[in-house]
């Protein structure tokens, strides 16, 4: 019974951890966010590396198709990662439900055996 309860608890914790967007240990409960000091105005202007790849109007059509394909692949990879994360969470949740159901069955069997002993007296 204790093992089934522990399995259910750990499966629920695993489910919650797998749907979290932040890495485990990145944010602790009660942690106060520190504000950054204001940066100079020159540092606030976007640079070419911050804004992403430069888009030119004289790019050949083949390059444009390649960039579009790369963007589509990145979007598909991000979607696959998100789906895999949710499937992992659902797997943990199903394990937790099965563990709770198994603990219930064990409890009912024990209750039945005690009632059978009482009926024999």
Neighbours of 8 (CB within 10 A): 19
61-120 and 2-19 helices, crossing angle to 10°: 160
Q: What is the value of pTM for the model shown?
A: 0.52
Q: Where are the domains of the chain?
A: 1-20+59-121
Say which DSSP state 60 is in: -
pLDDT tens across 16-67, in order? Answer: 887 777 655 555 555 555 555 555 555 555 555 555 555 555 555 565 567 6
Total number of residues shown for the chain: 121
pLDDT at 88: 85
């Amino acid at each position: 019974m204790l093992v089934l309860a522990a399995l259910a608890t750990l499966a629920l914790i695993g489910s919650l951890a797998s749907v979290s967007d932040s890495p485990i240990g990145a944010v602790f409960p009660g942690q106060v966010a520190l504000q950054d000091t204001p940066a100079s105005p020159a540092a606030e202007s976007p640079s070419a590396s911050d804004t992403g790849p430069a888009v030119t109007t004289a790019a050949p059509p083949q390059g444009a198709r390649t960039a579009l394909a790369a963007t589509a692949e990145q979007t598909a990879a991000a979607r696959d990662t998100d789906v895999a994360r949710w499937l992992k969470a659902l797997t943990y949740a199903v394990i937790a439900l099965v563990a709770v159901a198994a603990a219930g069955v064990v409890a009912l069997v024990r209750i039945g055996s005690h009632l059978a002993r009482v009926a024999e007296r």
